[in-house]
Amino acid sequence: MSKKKMTAVPHAKSQKQSALMERARLAARQPERVHAAPEPEPAEGTDAQVQAEVKNAQVQADAAAVETVSKASAESESPAAAPAEEKAADSEEKAPEPEAKSDAAAAAQAPEGAEKPQGRPAEAGKAAAEAGAQPAAAEKKENTAAPAPLAETHVQTPEPAEKDPAQMKKKEAKNNQEGKSQRRNPPMEGRSIVVTSGKGGVGKTTTTANISMALAKLGKKVVVVDGDTGLRSLDLIMGLENRIVYNLVDVIEGTCDLKKALIRDKRVDGLYLLPTAQTREKDCVTEEQMKQLSSDLRKEFDFVLFDCPAGIEAGFRNASAGADEALVVTTPDVSPVRDADRIIGMLESQGKEQIHLIINRMRPKMMRSGDMLGVDDVLDILSVSLIGVVPEDDAVVKSSNKGEPLTLDPSSPAATAFMNIARRILGEDVPFLDIEHLDRGFFAKLSALFGRR
């Protein structure tokens, strides 16, 4: 479909659009933005080496324990070996049997993978055993039986936990209940988005009001912060100018609490406005104060939208400091596109990773004739992701004068475009409007489909 549409455009249109696009490119000539390289991943295999070293250490410790036990048994048998020197020959012949037994016992006690201990000559103790010395035999039995209580103690360690199963069940139930309560009530952390533009008059404040109304109608709790101190207009477009008592500067200076300054929109649930002062300067609020305000609001709301003043002055830096994401509004004209490119570069220097573009006031007739930049031309110049295209609509001016955002009762193409932008912010896959043939009738669309004008 796109190839057929492009072939239907006359040669004069392509020349006009190419001239406009070339002019916009030259105007928006900015240094390329360099993105940081991803950090290298840690090398694999380190866990396996650590486990192997731990296992070897355990094997050496077990072998050393077996050697100490055999040495202790040999020393205990040595006192009884003195009176039995006459039968040393017989003890040498019969010595391999008890050593084999000790080696078998040591091998049974040693863990898998450990080296089997080699037998040590203990001639005096073995001769005493052959002579039938009862004291030595008794001492040997005591020494050989000594490790048994250790094994029993290791086996009997779980017994104290089994003695009181009721307490264990209560403890497990308490832990499970705490885990469920944490899953049911996770800590709320909303998203903060700044709506900005390089040039004034492109519809930035109108876009902020309509998107916030659309998000509230979709079931989200939204607060809109007017960051244009001294030239506030968001309250007029939303129709809440008569309910202002406190403002943003009062909250920053500690004159009132944050909840008292918030104005709830009674037309839709979950929508609030935080107006700013009209008689103060833009530098009365600092970047750190805006960051703290954003942190406080994100604990109570799903979305925090900042209406940023146009330009790159202190007002822009303050309003954008508390946001993690950005929506850049522009019209498909050469001058606004150049200013939008400058704003995008400044937003990237602030570390904002999610920057989306909204093309406002798109005129299908001028775009077809080549007197206005197309959507692809704007995207080619700015190189950011597109989140919405809003057509030129007289209903936007009427709604702004009445103080009723279009998305309050969406029935026009611009209202549908704003609602689609809100859905895309929530992660929905919504197709874009066919702006090029939006103002044509049914038969005109069929003619364009078959390549006729």
- pLDDT at position 29 over 70: no
Q: Of residues 411 and 298, which shows the higher confidence score?
A: 298
pLDDT exceeds 50 at position 74: yes
pLDDT digits (tens, 9 = 90+) for 170-200: 666 666 555 443 433 444 579 999 999 988 8
| pLDDT surpassing 50 at residue 365 | yes
Question: What torsion, rounded to 10 degrees, do the Cα atoms 407, 195, 398, 431 define?
Answer: -50
- Per DSSP bridges, beta strands 263-264 and 271-274 are antiparallel
Check residue 169 and give its pLDDT.
Answer: 64
Averaged confidence pLDDT in the chain: 75
For the cut 60, the answer to whether the pLDDT of residue 364 exceeds it is yes
- Token pair 């050697």 is at which residue? 67
Contact 279, 230 (CB under 8 A): yes
Distance set, CA 143 to CA 31, 107, 128, 147, 227 (Å) = 84, 18, 15, 8, 85
- Quick one: which of 197, 231, 233, 202 has its CA closest to 316? 197
Integer Cα distance of 167 and 164 in angstroms: 6
In the predicted model, what is the mean pLDDT of residues 314-319?
88
Rounded CA-CA distance 312/380 in Å is 23
Out of 146-155, 291-300, 328-337, which region has the weakest mean confidence (pLDDT)?
146-155
Please check the confidence at residue 249 and state whether its pLDDT lies above 70: yes
Task: Give the range among 150-164, 253-267, 280-294 with minimum mean pLDDT.
Answer: 150-164
- Does residue 235 contact residue 403 with C-beta atoms inside 8 Å? no
C-alpha–C-alpha distance, residues 378 and 376, integer Å? 6
Note the Cα 150 to chain centre separation in Å: 51
Q: Is the pLDDT of residue 69 over 70?
A: no
CATH code of the domain occupying 190-449: 3.40.50.300
Can you state the angle between helices 46-77 and 134-145, rounded to 10 degrees? 160
Element spanning 223, H or E:
strand 222-226
Q: Is 445 helix (H, G, I), strand (E, B) or coil?
A: helix
Determine the Cα–Cα distance for residues 61 and 187; give it in Å rounded to an integer: 48
Cα distances (angstroms) measured from residue 297 to each of 188, 281, 308? 10, 23, 17
Per cent of the chain over pLDDT 90 is: 44
Predicted confidence at residue 407, as pLDDT, reads: 94
Please tell me the predicted confidence (pLDDT) of residue 415. 95
**Average of pLDDT values for 395-419?**
92
User: What is the pLDDT confidence band of residue 437, given thresholds at 50, 70 and 90?
Assistant: confident
DSSP, residue by residue, 120-139 = ---HHHHHHHHHT-HHHHHH
- Regarding pTM above 0.85, the answer is no
| Token code pair at residue 342 | 């400058």
